[in-house]
Amino acid sequence: PVPKSISAARSARILCLQDSNSNTKYFDFVVVGSGVAGLRYALEVSKHGSVAIITKAEPHESNTNYAQGGVSAVLCPSDSVESHMQDTIVAGAYLCDEETVRVVCTEGPDRVKELIAIGASFDHGDDGKLHLAREGGHSHNRIVHAADMTGREIERALLKAFHPTALADEGLPIKPTNRRENAFLITEAVRGDGGILYNQSMQRFMPLYDERAELAPRDVVARSIDDQLKKRGEKYVLLDISHKPREQILAHFPNIAAECLRYGLDITSSPVPVVPAAHYMCGGIRAGLQGETNVKGLYVAGEVACTGLHGANRLASNSLLEALVFARRAVQPSIDHMTRSSLDIHASTMWTRPVLPTSLESHAMQEILFRTKTTRVELQSIMWEYVGIVRSTSRLKTAEWKIGELEAEWEEFLFRREWKPMMVGLQACEMKNLFCCAKLVVSSALARQESRGLHYIEDFPFLEESKRKPTIIFPTSLKLTWSSQQAHKLAAGAPL
């Protein structure tokens, strides 16, 4: 935070203090991430102080931009908050925090209306009302959407809401320059719109696993597909929407149709090969009802947060909803914290400043980049192979060991090429974060000795009521290496 006298002097552009002796800039609010949560929060707090939005790539490059389905909210007279709550809790295998669920389901409709007021354009039916779709796990049509590109439309509207002079010095380009590889999702809305899953013998299989068939929650569908693939020794199943009218398919799923055509697949006339994919992190930094954490002044919203909404499995289209609700709830507490705080320039000396690896020889840097790229692929393979849809204690322990070995080898490789602990680079920072997240997922999975929601473990295949409580991992319970060591501890000379 900056001094109150500075906070009082506001205009339409971002104002910040800058240390004349360094390149350090000081803002009232720093927002890390430019997805729906970050941008929605920034729009509000920018009315009360200077804001820096930090994103590692183009502003559009966020998980929000890849969210196809929509935002779930009670906007139909035949629907109810209680029904939305019940669907959320059932999908979450009764591990959801009921108070959080009520808050999100109650406040959701107003958050959607705010988006519309900001300029987001959602699909409407012939009657002029919002077209509400249905997805797996929902008992009513309550998904507000913009065809199959809802996240992209929300991101567009929020970015446009910023006046150009209210952005960072470099400005915010509207179109991303890079394309994300190997990340094309088929929205759950295809199943909600009548899509049917078949094995390669064109046998419909979902009714064999759940009475809700294709409208079962995603954890049930993912396990069912996984079971079919293993039993039949096949690589994929088929999702078919071609029995629906061509015009309806193209109207509801234009992006999916176009993307599939790039690979020679016409979804209006033939089924699409699909497999389950790692998609969303249900856990995260533990947060209260205002997005607050146990770190004073740090608020979280969106996929980074664990609010208790999702429980053991996220209900379709509840992710954008949660981000909107908690981004808005974190605003006033943040303002209150900022106004009663004062700037302590010396606080930053607790942390050794990160440095770019400019001192490294170019060949050493190239070797590090290549090794990091291959290490990332190896880590992904370990997680998919040992920490996937169906787990076991022995395989989780194997993953724990393999991840530890891989991390140690990667770190040793870097340090042998003169990499220093406080050096930073995009690929290295991402690799550190991936190792940290992987270890957290494995630790959490080992701690839950029951099968609940998306966590299915063969050693404990049943629900245990006595274990119906959230898993909390404390930093001290993890074996820390350079990758997961806190920077201020490194600065203090803590052993690696």
Catalytic residues: 218
Judged on CB neighbours under 10 Å (0-12, 13-18, 19+), 176 is middle
Cα dihedral 425, 178, 52, 169, rounded to 10, equals 100
Judged on CB neighbours under 10 Å (0-12, 13-18, 19+), 343 is middle
The 3-state secondary structure of the chain reads: CCCHHHHCCCCCCCCCEECCCCCCEECCEEEECCCHHHHHHHHHHCCCCCEEEECCCCCCCCHHHHCCCCEECCCCCCCCHHHHHHHHHHHCCCCCCHHHHHHHHHHHHHHHHHHHHHCCCCCECCCCCECEECCCCCCCCCEECCCCCHHHHHHHHHHHHCCHHHCCCCCCCCCCCCCCCCCCCCCCHHHHCCCEEECCCCCECHHHHCCCHHHCCHHHHHHHHHHHHHHHCCCCEEEECCCCCHHHHHHHCHHHHHHHHHCCCCCCCCCEEECCCCCCCCCCEECCCCCECCCCCCECCCCCEECCCCCCCCCCCHHHHHHHHHHHHCHHHHHHHHHCCCCCHHHHHHCCCCECCCCCCHHHHHHHHHHHHHHHHHHHHHHHHHCCCEECHHHHHHHHHHHHHHHHHHHHHHHHCCCCCCECCHHHHHHHHHHHHHHHHHHHHHHCCCCECCEEECCCCCCCHHHCCCCCCCHHHCCCCCCCCCHHHHHCCCCC
Q: Residue 323 corresponds to which tokens in the numbers above?
A: 């981000």
